[in-house]
Each structure stands twice: as structure tokens, then as C-alpha cells.
Structure 1
Amino acid sequence: MKDTGFPRADAEADFLRARRRQVLSRLANWLRGEPDDVNIMLPFHEVVDALGYLGERRIGARVIRLDSIVGSVDRGRDFDRRFRPTSGRVRERWERLALATRRGESIPPIEVYRVGELHFIIDGHHRVSVSHAMGLSTIEATVTEVRTKLDPSGIRYRGDLIVKDYRRLFLERVPLSGHSRASVVFTDPWDYARLGEHVEAWGFRLMQDEGRYSDRATLAQRWFDEEFVPVVEMLRQADLIGDRTDAEAYLWVACERYRLIRTHRWDDEVFEAVRSRSR
């Protein structure tokens, strides 16, 4: 934070510097060919919808890290992901807060939702933006903690919400828990939908074979123990997993198995073709 001795002029310079950094960041992203959402603030309601809302509780005043604030309830268009102003719309209020900060005046705490280790602003966007511009690392906040079905870890950009949303839907269809839940991970969100359909079909065939009904949780755990684990272990021993996750390797071989059933060919040439495709 530069100080010329004239707080009002310094506050104006702070805003212009923050705007310039925001524009330069957009230009750098364009030059690197990064996705459009890399600098977009995460929308709170979209995050919670993707993760599955369970409940919330107010935990009161806390000091939180500025870099843990990644999103907003309703002001995403005025600031980018690092809370740099995206236009001159917020300039007057922004400079008033910057001036008050430079003069050492008391600034009220912001209000945030906490989801895991992430924070989303309810009130206080300008205060966070000014704090970033001043080079601060923490800020006082009144915190409400929100509990969700899925862990928000791994969310960096808006596009990551698609994977979380499909994972949440998959776990509603295939209610795994504990270690089995953690073992099924995909990078492509569509794979969760494909595996969900596959597991449901597996469970239906199992109930037909045994002549009795089982609930989703029971079928999910039996599929994991009796199908997923043995198949993944065979793939690992055959050195066929490669760079895939265990779930990606399983889904690949399950699809190949279905294709082989339809071709009615089970000779060595077919198996070698399958092995070659795995590479």
C-alpha cells in the first residue's frame, strides 16, 4: 500500500490500481486460453445446490483469511474472483471505504456463509475488495456455517460444480458410504451418470437372480464389495489401470464387457484388442 501523505488521493489511486489489475488479469487469461470462469466469483446458491444443502448454524464473529473468500450470494458481477472491481460502478463507495481504512477508522465486520473451508459473502464485498487492495491477509467476519452432503474440497472454478452436482446425484442413486464412497471418483461428470445406470442395472439383475428385494443402500454396498473391488484388483494385477482412477478403469472395462457380450466373440484376439485400447 503506497502512501503519499494525502489519504483521499491515495484512495483514488488504490481503486485505479485495482481496476488495472483486474483488466490485466482478464487479458492474461485470454492470452493463456484459460476457461471463461477462471476469474468469476463462485455463486453461493449454485455451490450449495451442487453439494446438497443439509442445514446451517450461526457461529458468530471470527477472523477469516481473505483468500478463503471465493464467492458471493448476489454480487458476483461487480467484482472478479480476487475481488477486484470489474467496472467503475462501485468506485464511489469503494474509495470511501479505502479512505476510511487509510485513516484507521473502525470498519464493521463483513457477513459470510462458510461451506467447508470456503467463504461466501452475504454483506461486505467492498470491504473485502479494499482489504485485498491494501495487501491485508485476514478480515473480521460474522460467520454462518452451512452443512452440505458433499465435501466442497476440489472446487476452484464454476465449472467444477458440474462434477459435484453429478456426483451428488450419483450418490443419491447409489448411496455408498465411508471408504466405498471415497473410492468412486471421476473427472468427467457424465461418467457418474453412466456408472449410476450401470449399478442400477447390476442391482436389478441381482434381485432377479436371488428372487428378493433389496434397498438401494444394500445393493450399492454389495456392488462395491462383490463387483467393483474384485474387478479393480484384477485390473491392477493386469497393469490395466494406467492414469485412470479406479472408478474410471472399472467403468471402461464394464463397457468393454458389454461390447464383447454383444459381439459374441471371446477369443485371444479380442482380449488383446481390449488390452491395446487400455493404453
Structure 2
Amino acid sequence: MSSRDTGFPRTDAEHDFLRARRRQVLSRLASWLRREPDDVNITLPFDEVVEALGRESERRVGLRVIRLDSVVGSVDRGRDFDRRFRPTSARVRQRWERLALASRRGESIPPIEVYRVGDLHFVIDGHHRVSVAHALGLASIDAYVTEVRTRLGADGIRHRGDLIIKSYRRLFLERVPLSGQAAAAVLVSDPWDYAVLGEHVEAWGFRLMQDEGHLLDRQTVAARWYENEYLPVVSMLAQADLVGDRTEAEAYLWVAGERYRLMRTHRWDDEVIEALRAPSK
């Protein structure tokens, strides 16, 4: 029993709710003081996440014990709870306190139901149960899990704003269908750079088809661009110490644009690298 408990389960359940609400308000205030985006403290919306990542399939996993800190989103109750499933208003108080009371009395609580995307979980049913479990300091919870497989992984998603870059990356990989290590290697920080890079690869592929005199599918263009263009250029940039604090793909995109601006050519040689090095000094 916590030092703050009174020993009266109903009273303690009421206090649990008030503490959870107070922490939610303080978290909002802290975010405002730090001038963080509005979406930092909201639960991630499941539909937006799978749309950004590209839904492929799903399968029923069954009853599992999952970590509470892996439950980050909701299917349809995002406004009632924040990212840590603290209640955002008194609207949920009656049901919340009823569940807290049952938990404190040791009564059986049904498993929640969730979608799993990567290592993240999104609540279908059981938002109040997750909220109460957090408030009572639990580390895990029973859940019926349905796994959703997506085109992109869910790694790196912390808040809603991260979905933008995931969405642009998914679209880029649809236009430039790299796979395996090649797909993992081509990364940029600015979502719009994926659109620019996609246009660049498609233009490179068009020139390749003109040179060879026949059509190539997207997979072939992507593979040949990566092996014959991207890797050699990135290697030269690394040797010339021109990557800097950018990702390799960002350095490639910069130098590809500069090459055309300075040289009006698509060749790569020492003369091009030296011309590109000059403006960077």
C-alpha cells in the first residue's frame, strides 16, 4: 500500500483519479512552457499511423502480456486521454474510478484489446483500464493482440509529427522500390527531400532508358541507381570529406544538384568533385 493511501479503497480510487488529472494538467503546462508542438502529448491515432506506414496485412496473435509503456495510441478515443493515458477531463471520471476501485479490491479486470504495429500498441478497447494501470504504477497489462504489418517499420515514431516523414518515405519507396540494406541506407531528415530525391531518381532512370533504348521497370531502375550512382557518389563524398553532419542521402542530394548547377553534366570525376568542393570552403 502506498504511503498516500488511506486504506479505504473508494477514497483511494478517487485520489488516484485526481492525481492522474493533476499530472496531465502539469504535463500540458510543461509542454507549453517548452513551446513544444501541440501533438507531443496526444495519443497516436492508429489510422494515421498505418496510413503513413502503409498497411499490408494483419493477423490475430491472441492473449499476451504487453508492456504498458508500449501502449502509445488509440483507435478512436484519443481525446479522452493523453500520450501516457492520463485523463484529459472529468468526463471519464465515473468509469475510471469504478475500475480503480475494482483493481484496488483485487477484482479480476478483463484484458484490453489492441493492435500491434512493430513494437507499438494501439488500444481498441480498454482505454480506462490502461489509464488506471498507469496510475497504479503497473508495468504490464494483459491484452488480446492483433498484429498489423506495414510497409515501413514503426521505429522512430514518438508523436504525430513523425508520421509526416514516414508518409513521405513510404511514397518515396513506392516510386523508388529499394529493398533490404539499400532501403535502410537512403534516409533524409526533411520529409520534402524524399519527394525531391524521388524526382531525381526517376529522371536518372529516364536518362538510363534513353541511353539503353528500352523500358525498365521501377525495381530495376531503383537497383541500378543505388549500385551504379548512389553508392559510388557517396563513397567519393566520404573520401573528399563532403558528407559533414548530413545523412549520406542528404549529401548525395546536395551534390547532385550542385553538379548540375556547376557542370551541366551527369558525369562523375575528380573535376566535378573539385568544383563542388570550392563553394563549400
Q: TM-score, normalised by structure 2?
A: 0.94
**C-alpha contact (below 8 Å) 1:256/1:274 kept by paired residues:** no
Choose from 178, 188, 211 the match for 2:190.
188
The one-letter amino acid paired with 1:26 is R
Question: Which residue does 1:91 correspond to in 2?
Answer: 93
**C-alpha contact (below 8 Å) 2:114/2:146 kept by paired residues:** yes
> Partners in 1 of 2:118 and 2:205 — Cα distance?
33
In the TM superposition, 1:89-238 aligns within 5 A as 89-238=91-240
The one-letter amino acid paired with 1:31 is L
The one-letter amino acid paired with 1:274 is P
Instruction: State the 1:32 CA deviation.
Output: 1.3
Q: Secondary structure at the match of 1:89?
A: helix
**Structure 1 pair 116/267, CA: closer, same or farther in 2 (3 Å)?**
closer
**Structure 1 pair 84/229, CA: closer, same or farther in 2 (3 Å)?**
same
Q: Secondary structure at the match of 2:90?
A: coil
Question: Which residue does 2:280 correspond to in 1?
Answer: 275
Q: Secondary structure at the match of 1:218?
A: helix
Q: Secondary structure at the match of 1:136?
A: coil
Question: Which residue does 2:11 correspond to in 1?
Answer: 9
**C-alpha contact (below 8 Å) 2:175/2:218 kept by paired residues:** yes
Q: TM-score, normalised by structure 1?
A: 0.95
Structure 1 unmatched runs, 5+: none
> Partners in 2 of 1:32 and 1:217 — Cα distance?
45
Q: Secondary structure at the match of 1:4?
A: coil
**C-alpha contact (below 8 Å) 2:24/2:86 kept by paired residues:** yes
In the TM superposition, 1:50-61 aligns within 5 A as 50-61=52-63
Structure 2 unmatched runs, 5+: 266-270
The one-letter amino acid paired with 1:150 is L
Instruction: State the 1:260 CA deviation.
Output: 1.5
Question: Which residue does 2:73 correspond to in 1?
Answer: 71
Instruction: State the 1:257 CA deviation.
Output: 1.3
> Partners in 2 of 1:62 and 1:198 — Cα distance?
45
> Partners in 2 of 1:124 and 1:268 — Cα distance?
59
Instruction: State the 1:33 CA deviation.
Output: 1.6
Instruction: State the 1:178 CA deviation.
Output: 1.1
The one-letter amino acid paired with 1:232 is V
**C-alpha contact (below 8 Å) 1:40/1:80 kept by paired residues:** yes
Aligned residues: percent identity? 76
> Partners in 2 of 1:106 and 1:23 — Cα distance?
30
- Paired positions, count: 274
Choose from 15, 20, 23 the match for 2:22.
20
CA RMSD of aligned residues (A): 1.6
**C-alpha contact (below 8 Å) 1:207/1:213 kept by paired residues:** yes
**Structure 1 pair 66/271, CA: closer, same or farther in 2 (3 Å)?**
closer
**Structure 1 pair 267/24, CA: closer, same or farther in 2 (3 Å)?**
closer
> Partners in 1 of 2:57 and 2:264 — Cα distance?
47
The one-letter amino acid paired with 1:187 is S
Deviations 1:4-38 (A, max 9, x none): 11111111110000000000001111111222111
**C-alpha contact (below 8 Å) 1:49/1:165 kept by paired residues:** yes
Residue 252 (1) aligns with residue 254 (2): yes
The one-letter amino acid paired with 1:242 is G
**Structure 1 pair 170/126, CA: closer, same or farther in 2 (3 Å)?**
same
Instruction: State the 1:268 CA deviation.
Output: 10
Deviations 1:45-101 (A, max 9, x none): 000000001110111100000000000000000000000000000000000000000
